[in-house]
Structure 1
Amino acid sequence: MGLTDDDKAHVKAVWGEIQSHAGDIGAEAITRMFAAHPTTKTYFSHIDVSPGSADIKAHGKKVAAAIGEAVGHIDNIAGALDKLSDLHAQKLRVDPVNFGLLSHCILVAIAANHPGLLKASTLVSMDKFMARVSVVLTSKYR
């Protein structure tokens, strides 16, 4: 599932709207993921997973930075996220399913904070982009 030029434009436009507070959206997405899918907390036993904690905010910024990197290198997402893919597959051994869960929660957090930003075509583009990011992050598992 490749990204079309329209998809890339939509993704860049959405990121342009949210990048100034993307860390907050990342933290909200993680909090939503933990609430909806409590088993995902198992990978975070070393941090405070309470909503709004400093640890969640810090990890939200990391998630946002990775997404920003992918947006900035939208034509080479695999290259941009190569080290992160290695980390999650080889060291952290995160269940690949979790990337899809987080991707969905990111889209929900964007929609909740920016009503109207994710129109139908933009949502499809963002969903394709987040799916591509998830595929890249799980590519080292094979």
Structure 2
Amino acid sequence: MGFTAKEKTLIKTFFATISDKTQEIGHQSLARTIVVYPQTKTYFAHWKDLSPNSPNVKKHGYTVVKGLMDAVDMIDDLVGGLLPLSELHAFRLRIDPANFKILIHNMLVVLAIMYPNEFTPKVHVTLDKYCAKVALALSDKYR
């Protein structure tokens, strides 16, 4: 099932609201993931510093959240639009797709903390749906 016009508008509007904090959201989301789910550190073993405030955690967290926000432009064809990232994660990085869901969960927690008034139940359920579809699209080449 795709997205309704209202859902698309809600996602775009919320992302516009949080766009000035993308770096902080990404950093906090990935830092939380690495601390709460230490098994995810294995995918970043090539980094010298895996502490929550390391430059690599900050940079990659931003990259992930920025990518999630940019994917809105491909909302009607996430599988096709995210094909290069799906191939990268499946064939080169070999990331277990379950980790996409872990990171998304942590990002939703961070958003709820940082935006308690804007992160309404409606926004939560819509972003959860969107993120689940992005995770599914990123997992496409695993099948």
Give the alignment's TM-score, normalised by structure 2.
Answer: 0.93
Tell whether 2:18 aligns with 1:18: yes
Kindly state the Cα deviation for residue 10 of structure 1 after the two structures are TM-superposed: 1.3
Residue of structure 1 in register with 2:67 after alignment: 66
Please list, as runs of the form range in 1=range in 2, the aligned pairs for 1:21-40 lying within 5 A after superposition. Answer: 21-40=21-40
Aligned to 1:127: 128
Give 3-state SS (helix, strand or coil) of 1:95's partner.
coil
Q: Give the AA of the match of 2:142.
A: Y
Structure 1: gaps of 5 or more residues: none
Contact 2:26 2:107 in 1 (8 A): yes
Deviates more, 1:114-123 or 1:65-74: 65-74
Counterpart of 2:124, as a letter, is: L
CA contact (8 A) 1:23 1:63 kept: no
User: Bigger shift: 72-81 or 30-39?
Assistant: 72-81
Tell me, in whole angstroms, the C-alpha distance in 1 between the residues paired with 2:78 and 2:106: 20
Offset at residue 27 of structure 1 (A)? 1.2
After TM superposition, the runs of 4+ consecutive aligned structure 1 residues lying more than 6 A away are none
- 1:42 has 2:61 as partner: no
RMSD: 1.2
Contact 1:15-1:71 at 8 Å conserved across structures = no
Structure showing greater relative contact order (alpha-carbon pairs closer than 8 Å, 6 or more residues apart): 1
Distance in 2 of aligned mates of 1:88 and 1:23: 22
Is the 8 Å Cα contact of residues 28 and 109 (structure 1) preserved in structure 2?
A: yes
Give the Cα separation in 1 of the matches to 2:17 and 2:79.
Answer: 24
Which residue identity lines up with residue 132 of structure 2 in the other structure? A
What runs of 5+ residues in structure 2 fail to find an aligned partner? none
User: How high is the sequence identity, in percent, across the aligned residues?
Assistant: 39
Number of equivalences: 142
The one-letter code matched in structure 2 to 1:93 is: R
TM-score by length of 1: 0.94
